[in-house]
Amino acid sequence: MALSPFEPSLKRMRAAIDLLEAAVERRVRHDAKRGDSDEELSLMQDDRDRLAVDLDSALGRGRALEAANAEAARKLAQAGEAIETVVGRLLAAEGG
């Protein structure tokens, strides 16, 4: 059986089509991985933004607690001084 004069050209065309299909499959896999990476990056950026807001809020609460603590310490010191003054007067009045 004689080979058709087109047979070598058909073989080259089939090989080229196989290479093209392989390239398309690689590209599809690459695009899928990139899509996954883009989605993962977006999720990480969302987490980062949420964590930044949480951190700012926590820092604000921390500053407010420090201020409240300082105010409470100041008032306790004043109360302690007032108690010492009253006790001192009572002892002096008793002749002590």
User: So what's the pLDDT on residue 37?
Assistant: 85
User: So what's the pLDDT on residue 74?
Assistant: 96
Q: What average pLDDT does the structure give for the chain?
A: 90
User: So what's the pLDDT on residue 8?
Assistant: 85
Q: CA-to-CA distance for 19 and 11, rounded, in angstroms?
A: 12
User: So what's the pLDDT on residue 2?
Assistant: 65
Residues of the chain with pLDDT under 50: none
User: So what's the pLDDT on residue 30?
Assistant: 87
Going by C-alpha positions, the residue among 73, 92, 95 that lies closest to residue 84 is 92
Question: What is the model's pTM?
Answer: 0.52
